[in-house]
Amino acid sequence: MWHLTLHRWTGDREATVQHALEHLDDHLAWMREQQLAGKVLIAGPTPDKELGIMLFGHMSKQDVHELCRTDPFISAGLREYEVIPWEVHHLLGIGAFDTRTVNAMNQAKAHQT
């Protein structure tokens, strides 16, 4: 299962963002480590910097939670996050683009549980 995470500032935004600058190098080093390990596939903020978004590859929801808690922004109490499980069906033109394939994927998933 893939997971999308949404990261929001906690408390007073301006004070939190100012405090976050003290942790930015650590956060970016953490991001690089997770990307090189193949855990965080895509990440970045919204243009207004209100929301951080990360896409995690095949990991359990519990593993995503454990990893997110080690993000310096989160461990310092500057960000809170939400984990959204995501069944990725289409990626770069690869995937289920017809009902026959979607049905086969659903049947295979049902047999796994």
Q: Architecture of 2-112 per CATH?
A: 2-Layer Sandwich (3.30)
Round the average pLDDT of the chain to a whole number and report it. Answer: 89
- The rounded distance, in Å, linking the Cα atoms of 78 and 91 is 32
Domain borders along the chain are: 2-112
Is-above-0.75 flag for pTM? yes
| pLDDT-above-90 percentage for the chain | 63
Residue 33 has pLDDT above 90, yes or no: yes
User: Are 84 and 6 spatial neighbours (Cβ–Cβ below 8 Å)?
Assistant: yes
| Confidence at residue 102, expressed as pLDDT on a 0 to 100 scale | 73
